[in-house]
Amino acid sequence: MTTTETEIPRPLRADARRNRERIVESAREVFAEAGAEAQIDDVARRAGVGVGTVYRHFPTKEALLGELVRQRFRIFALNAEEALERKGEPFAVFADLLRRNAEVCAADCAMQHALAGFGEHVSAHAASEFAALNCAVGKLIARAQRAGTMRQDVSRQDIPMLMCGVSATMAQTEFGFDWHRHLELVIDMLRA
Residue 184: pLDDT band by 50, 70, 90 thresholds?
Answer: very high
Residue 3: pLDDT band by 50, 70, 90 thresholds?
Answer: very low
- 66-190: CATH number: 1.10.357.10
- 1-59: CATH number: 1.10.10.60
3-state helix, strand, coil in the chain (%, to 5): 75, 0, 25
CA 137/CA 120 separation, integer angstroms: 20
CA 7/CA 61 separation, integer angstroms: 24
pLDDT digits (tens, 9 = 90+) for 124-176: 889 999 999 999 999 999 999 999 999 999 999 999 999 989 998 898 878 88
Name the residue among 80, 161, 69 with its Cα closest to residue 124: 69
**Can you list the alpha helix ranges (DSSP code H) found in 1-50?**
14-34, 40-47
- 13 has a pLDDT exceeding 90: no
Span 69-94, mean pLDDT?
A: 97
pLDDT at 82 (0 to 100): 98
- 4 has a pLDDT exceeding 50: no
- 118 has a pLDDT exceeding 80: no
- More confidently predicted of 175 and 87: 87
Q: The pTM is what? A: 0.86
Q: Where are the domains of the chain?
A: 1-59, 66-190
- Count CB-CB contacts under 10 A for residue 37: 10
Helix or strand (DSSP H, E) at 173: none
pLDDT at 64 (0 to 100): 92
Span 71-87, mean pLDDT?
A: 97
- Distance, first Cα to last Cα, the chain: 57
